[in-house]
Structure 1
Amino acid sequence: MNERSGAVVVTVRGNLDLDSAPTLAVCLDEALGRPEPRVVVDLSGVDFCDSIGLSTFVTGHNRARAAGGWLRLAGPGEFLEQLLDTVGLARRLGVYPTVEDAVANRPDD
């Protein structure tokens, strides 16, 4: 985890599945424990994501919103971008081309 422009950036690499999603959940718990949390999950290094990984995003998003903040996804590869779109999470969560775009809220850059 690191911080950029007041947002916590959580970087995920490799496969996001039953084995690795709990690690992401722990990182998100820490980041979302702040008042009005602003969290960007950098997915540029994710090769695969299953339903457990997707559920982790939804849980984090809901928690961030309840605390007056947000959780955004940045830089998904083609596979993950299509998956997020297919299951309807792209619009709900906010998917951005880069971390910088997510922090600045620039979806079309």
Structure 2
Amino acid sequence: MGALVRISIAEAPAGEATVVKLAGELGVDTAAELAAAIEDLLARPTHRIVIDLALLGFCDSMGLSTFLDAHRRCEAEGGYLALAAPSPFMSRLLDVVGLLRQVPAYATVASACAGGKEGRLA
């Protein structure tokens, strides 16, 4: 069994994105924890979510699927979900599996919070 994922949530002022910081490993053993955190956030009035990947050391297909499912849920609720600050390895993984064409990803948390094209990957 690998290291657990640590999830911290930075509460956002009204109208701003909530930042979810991941650290550790996101996979079959830990993806449900992220999915539950996203569900909790979607129960609130704010549906702008940025997932900070800077400290994520590992992500398997279950973790990638969780990102896509969370993105779709946010969109269905009229919201926005973006990935931010992936490592070079994670950026390559997101590109190879086609996730960059489906979920917005940005070089920095600040650019992900702002949205738009500046700092967007692929």
TM-score under structure 2 normalisation?
Answer: 0.82
- Identity of matched residues, %: 44
SS of 1:27's equivalent in the other structure is: helix
The one-letter code matched in structure 2 to 1:3 is E
RMSD: 1.5
Higher helix share: 1
1:2 corresponds in structure 2 to 10
Tell me the residue number matched to 1:11.
Answer: 21
- Is the 1:32–1:39 Cα contact (8 Å) retained in structure 2? no
CA offsets, 1:31-72, max 9 Å, x none? 122346100000000111100000100110010000101110
Gap runs ≥5 in structure 2: 1-8
Number of aligned residue pairs: 109
Higher Cα Rg, which structure: 2
Q: Find out whether 1:39 has 2:49 as its counterpart.
A: yes
Deviation of 1:105 (Å)? 1.4
CA distance in structure 2 between the aligned counterparts of 1:107 and 1:79, rounded to whole angstroms: 22
| Larger RCO, structure (CA 8 Å, separation 6 or more) | 1
Q: Structure 1 regions of 5+ residues with no counterpart?
A: none
| C-alpha contact (below 8 Å) 1:43/1:74 kept by paired residues | yes
Matched residues in 2 for 1:106 and 1:37: separation?
Answer: 17
SS of the residue 1:11 aligns to: strand
Residue 44 of structure 2 aligns to a residue in which SS? Answer: coil
After the TM superposition, which parts of structure 1 deviate over 6 Å for at least 4 consecutive aligned residues?
A: none
